[in-house]
Amino acid sequence: MSCTFSVEMTEGPGVGQHHVEVVERKGLGHPDSICDAIAERASVALCREYQQRFGQVLHHNCDKALLLAGQVEHKLGGGRVIEPMSLIIGDRATHVHGSETIDVRGIAEEAARQWIRQNLRFVDPDKHVRFDVQTRPGAPSLATDFGAMRANDTSVGVGFAPLTETERLVLETERYLNSPGFKDTFPMTGEDVKVMGVRIGDRLDLTVAMPLIDRFIDSEAAYFQTVDAVRFELLVHLRQRLQTLNDVTVHVNVNDRRSAGNAGMYLSVIGTSAEDADSGQVGRGNRVNGLITPGRPQSLEAAAGKNPVSHVGKVYNVLAHRLASLIHQRVPGLRDVVVTLVSRIGHPVGEPLVVDVRVGLQIRTLLQDVRGPIIAVIQQELDRLPQFTRELAEGRHPVIGPSTPLGVPATRSAAAS
């Protein structure tokens, strides 16, 4: 099958030039983000086990994860966990290869525990989470000759570059609030950060939700003083990073109500709303670049946890963003780039049915001048696809967005009781 390359020019203003732009990010401790991160960590752990024992990645998909909320009692000065959260990880995996058995359940559960220990300072995986790993052998038609890198599905992956200033600042906001330095200064802030950015003209309005850990807060006055201090600190940080925007406004925990007791404060015992208020699921949160961008073309396929060899829902979504970024970096004269990859089940992953590129051109740039260089970048990356999938298997390409990288521990405090 020959691949069809299409390079077209987009008309009109780019997303960053529209009068209104909306961007959202669910942060490190959001229940949906937890599910994405743990599903991906489980896949990377299985890839490592398969490679070490058999010299190849075997068929698996750990992309069905559900985090069911527990129950807590909030209390100024320190609440308690009443009922732990429940984490279900499931789908398909190779449990037996030849005469050898792979402890898929144990590997996936330990990967989840490690991620929690490294990234959620107040969650003790031995006390606050129940684990239920449910994996079954894959369909023979998909598991046979898995290493041949043939597409497991007819699907689509979409990526774009560069980020607009609004997208960049929304991403920066969450990463800053969950950075080790910020947590050292504000240890009472939880990891469940959610950011909604709305740009109108040249002004950006940010709404941030972030719980405060109740053991650090001894009064309502202390709570509101802390929220005000967080808002001021974030505002100073962001205003130093404005480029073309004129101003940014920050709102933190807007559902708070003074003199309403615990009901008027966003308190948390262990730093995530999954403790009692919100459940999570793979695929309901950020796309692979770490953002939710309703004004952009995007695939709704969940990439986290899928196998990195033949599952185009993972490979093509990550690759599409990589291609868009490389094209924008290497080909002069481009304002913005959108890449769409379409697969056909059973055909080589390195031979997409269609590679469609839409570009916004800068002044005095002609489409015929950039078409050849764009196709050259694409072909180069398709030629190195086996290496790219190996890098995916090792967790070297972001699948859950650029937050705390896989395998890089965050700072921790003692877990809650």
Residue 203 lies in a domain: yes
- The 3-state DSSP class for residue 272 equals coil
- CA angle 316–317–319, rounded 5-degree value: 60
Which positions of the chain have pLDDT values less than 70?
A: 1, 139-147, 403-417
Question: What does the pLDDT look like over 155-166, one tens digit per residue?
Answer: 999 999 999 999
Residue 48 lies in a domain: no
Question: What does the pLDDT look like over 310-351, one tens digit per residue?
Answer: 999 999 999 999 999 999 999 999 999 999 999 999 999 999
Report which residue type is found at 331: V
Q: Which one, of 398, 355, 302, lies nearest residue 63 by Cα? A: 302
Residue 240 lies in a domain: yes
Q: With beta carbons less than 8 A apart as the criterion, state whether 193 and 271 touch.
A: no
Give the pLDDT score at 141.
57
Residue 144 lies in a domain: no
Give the pLDDT score at 401.
80
Where are the strands (E) in 44-84, listed by range? 60-68, 71-73, 80-83
Residue 257 lies in a domain: yes
d(C-alpha 232, C-alpha 225), whole Å: 11
C-alpha distances out from residue 12 to 17, 18, 28, 325, Å? 9, 10, 35, 21
Query: What's 255's domain CATH number?
Result: 3.30.300.340
**Neighbour count for residue 305 (Cβ, 10 Å):** 32
Residue 183 phi/psi, 5° resolution?
-65, -30
Residue 254 lies in a domain: yes
Query: What is the domain range of residue 205?
Result: 16-26+165-276
**Based on the structure, what is the number of domains in the chain?**
1
Q: With beta carbons less than 8 A apart as the criterion, state whether 286 and 36 touch.
A: yes
Residue 204 lies in a domain: yes
Give the pLDDT score at 300.
82
Q: What are the helix (H) ranges across 14-66?
A: 31-54
Residue 337 lies in a domain: no
Give the pLDDT score at 414.
39
Give the pLDDT score at 142.
58
